[in-house]
Amino acid sequence: MKTCLIISAYFPPMGGVGVQRISKFVKYMPLCGWRPMVVTTPTWSFRGERDESLMQELPSETIIKRPFFIDYKKILPGELAKLVRPLLRAHLQPDRYRWWNHYALKTAQRLAKEHTIHAALVNVSPFSGLLLGAQIKQELNIPVVVNLRDAFSFNNYFLLEKNQKARQQAMEIEKATFPLFDAIVCVTPHLVKQYQALYPDLRNRFHLITNGYDEDDFTSVEDIPEKSDTFTIGYNGSISRLAPIEPLLDAMSRLSSEHQIRVRICMAGKNSLKQIAGRHPQLLQAGLIDHRGFLPHRQSLQNLAGAHLLAIMFADDPATEGAYSGKIFEYLRLNKPILLMHRPNSDLAKLISRCRAGRCVNIDDRHAITAALLDLHDQWRSGGLNHNPDWNVIQTFDYRALTKKLTELFEPN
pLDDT per residue as tens digits for the range 45-61? 877 788 888 899 999 99
267 pairs with which residues across the strands? Answer: 235, 291
Q: For residue 225, give the DSSP letter.
A: P
Confidence of residue 332 (pLDDT cuts 50, 70, 90): very high
| Coil, helix or strand at residue 155 | coil
Confidence of residue 399 (pLDDT cuts 50, 70, 90): very high
Q: What is the DSSP string of 337-384?
A: -EEEEE-TTSHHHHHHHHTT-EEEEETT-HHHHHHHHHHHHHHHHTT-
Cis peptide before 125 (omega within 30 of 0): yes
**Burial state string for 335-348 with b = 16 or more CB within 10 A and e = fewer than 16:** ebbbbbbbbeebbb
351 pLDDT more than 70? yes
Q: For residue 38, give the DSSP letter.
A: E
Task: Compute, in degrees rounded to 10, the torsion defined by CA atoms 282, 284, 286, 291.
Answer: 160
- Sequence-ordered list of residues with C-beta below 8 angstroms from that of 174, at least 6 positions apart, any chain: 130, 152, 153, 198, 199
Confidence of residue 346 (pLDDT cuts 50, 70, 90): very high
Distance CA 310, CA 385 (A): 12
Type of residue at 155: N
CA R_g for the chain: 22
Higher pLDDT, 71 or 200: 200
The closest alpha carbon to 99, from 69, 137, 126, 134, belongs to 69
Sheet holding 119-124, edge to edge: 63-65, 34-39, 2-7, 119-124, 144-148, 183-186, 206-208
The closest alpha carbon to 276, from 257, 296, 252, belongs to 252
For 2-212+398-408, which CATH class? alpha beta
| Coil, helix or strand at residue 231 | strand
The closest alpha carbon to 31, from 410, 401, 397, 413, belongs to 401
Say how many C-beta atoms besides its own lie within 10 A of residue 240's C-beta: 12
Looking at CATH, the fold of the domain delimited by 216-392 is given as Rossmann fold (3.40.50)
CATH 3.40.50.2000 residue ranges of the chain are: 2-212+398-408, 216-392
Q: What pLDDT was estimated at residue 323? A: 84
Structure confidence by residue, pLDDT tens digits, 155-191: 876 555 657 777 888 999 999 999 999 999 999 999 9
391 pLDDT more than 70? yes
Q: What pLDDT was estimated at residue 159? A: 55
Structure confidence by residue, pLDDT tens digits, 235-267: 998 899 889 999 999 999 999 999 999 999 999
| Whole-number average pLDDT of the chain | 90
Higher pLDDT, 277 or 210: 210
Structure confidence by residue, pLDDT tens digits, 283-294: 988 999 999 998
The model's pTM is 0.90
Would you say 8 and 76 are in contact if contact means Cβ atoms under 8 Å apart? no
Distance CA 386, CA 322 (A): 27
372 pLDDT more than 70? yes
Q: What pLDDT was estimated at residue 257? A: 92
Longest dimension (CA), the chain: 70
| Coil, helix or strand at residue 257 | helix
